[in-house]
């Protein structure tokens, strides 16, 4: 479970206020929406990763972003270097212990990945024999990322198509899960999904409150995909992405979305 955000700059005409956005996102570590019955906060670790700059960053910590000074240091650096894409994640541990290797975003071969939701039957995610030792941590999210990558490599699929097939595989195999709300970034592309299992009573009850993903359109050359709308950011139009939808934002292409 988590709060997550992806930011992509699609035009050089305006400055993307990365510092202000990431400061607003930081507040969700203490005050973000939580599922009913859970203690407040997403304080079991955080991560920030970037693409589209000379030296892409990837920093993860088991501290809470609400109190960790290294979070503030990092976003000041990001504000200076102005990467094209930023992914950030605030963790609420559910599957997998509190450990750096279980913090997100995950990174592999230039791709970034973050996930909100829980795959209870994560040991049944279809992965070929020999894959498990290659995983750094023991979360359901990292296994989902590995499954998507294998679909891309084995079937020459785009990230969006691989994500769609992965979701259909998990649902079709009857795996118990709450949500497959993901963010994927690579090569000028920011991809998001909102896939909530409304057949799960827990997920259905939280579908419109916790398992959400919003698209924020600045109208000034940058887009945000975030678990919650950051209302303090002025001039951004927020829209709840419908359940069962994949949305992608590409440099020089724009926004497109489709149902799974």
| CATH assignment of the domain containing 141 | 3.60.20.10
What is the per-residue pLDDT for 157?
A: 92
Whether the predicted pLDDT of 145 surpasses 90: yes
* Phi/psi of residue 154, nearest 5 degrees: -80, -30
Whether the predicted pLDDT of 66 surpasses 60: yes
Reported as type and span, the H/E element at residue 211 is: none
Q: Is the dihedral of CA 258, 147, 210, 107 positive or negative?
A: negative
What is the per-residue pLDDT for 156?
A: 87
Residue 199's pLDDT band, with cuts at 50, 70 and 90, is confident
Give how many domains the chain has, as a whole number. Answer: 1
CA distance 138 to 97: 8
Domain that holds residue 160: 2-259
CA atoms within 13 A on the CB side of 161: 8
What is the percentage of the chain residues whose pLDDT exceeds 90?
Answer: 79
140-155 helix and 159-172 helix, angle to the nearest 10 degrees = 120
Q: Per-residue DSSP letters for 116-164?
A: ES-BTTGGGS---TT-GGG-SS--HHHHHHHHHHHHHHHHT--HHHHHH
Reported pTM: 0.95
Residue 13's pLDDT band, with cuts at 50, 70 and 90, is confident
Residue 247's pLDDT band, with cuts at 50, 70 and 90, is very high
**Mean of all residue pLDDT scores within the chain:** 93
Beta carbons of 167 and 260 less than 8 angstroms apart: yes
What is the per-residue pLDDT for 132?
A: 60
Instruction: Name the residue with higher pLDDT: 187 or 189.
Output: 189
Q: Nearest 5 degrees, angle CA 54-CA 55-CA 60? A: 150
Nearest Cα to Cα of residue 184 among 92, 100, 115: 115
Residue labelled with tokens 């279809």: 126
CA distance 13 to 71: 28
Whether the predicted pLDDT of 208 surpasses 90: no
E strand spans, 17-84: 46-51, 58-61
* Phi/psi of residue 171, nearest 5 degrees: -70, -45
Tens of pLDDT along 79-136? 999 999 999 999 999 888 999 999 999 999 999 999 999 999 999 998 877 666 578 9
| Sheet with 189-194, side-by-side order of all strands | 106-108, 111-116, 181-186, 189-194, 245-250, 254-259
Whether the predicted pLDDT of 243 surpasses 90: yes
């Amino acid at each position: 479970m988590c709060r997550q955000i992806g930011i992509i700059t699609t035009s050089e005409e305006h400055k993307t206020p990365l510092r202000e956005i990431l400061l607003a996102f930081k507040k969700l570590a203490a005050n973000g929406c939580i599922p009913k019955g859970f203690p407040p906060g997403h304080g079991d670790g955080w991560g920030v990763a970037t693409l589209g700059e000379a030296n892409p960053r990837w920093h993860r910590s088991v501290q809470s972003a609400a109190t960790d000074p290294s979070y503030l240091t990092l976003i000041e650096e990001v504000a200076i270097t102005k990467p094209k894409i930023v992914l950030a994640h605030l963790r609420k541990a559910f599957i997998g212990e509190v450990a750096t290797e279980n913090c997100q975003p995950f990174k592999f071969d230039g791709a970034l990945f973050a996930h909100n939701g829980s795959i209870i039957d994560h040991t049944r995610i279809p992965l070929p024999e020999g894959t498990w030792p290659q995983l750094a941590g023991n979360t359901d999210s990292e296994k989902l990322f590995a499954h998507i990558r294998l679909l891309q490599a084995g079937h020459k699929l785009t990230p969006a198509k691989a994500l769609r097939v992965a979701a259909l595989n998990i649902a079709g195999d009857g795996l118990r899960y709450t949500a497959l709300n993901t963010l994927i970034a690579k090569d000028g592309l920011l991809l998001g999904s909102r896939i909530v299992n409304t057949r799960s009573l827990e997920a259905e009850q939280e579908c419109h409150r916790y398992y959400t993903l919003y698209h924020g359109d600045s109208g000034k050359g940058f887009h945000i995909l975030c678990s919650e709308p950051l209302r303090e950011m002025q001039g951004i139009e927020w829209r709840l992405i419908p359940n069962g939808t994949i949305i992608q934002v590409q440099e020089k292409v724009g926004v497109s979305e489709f149902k799974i």
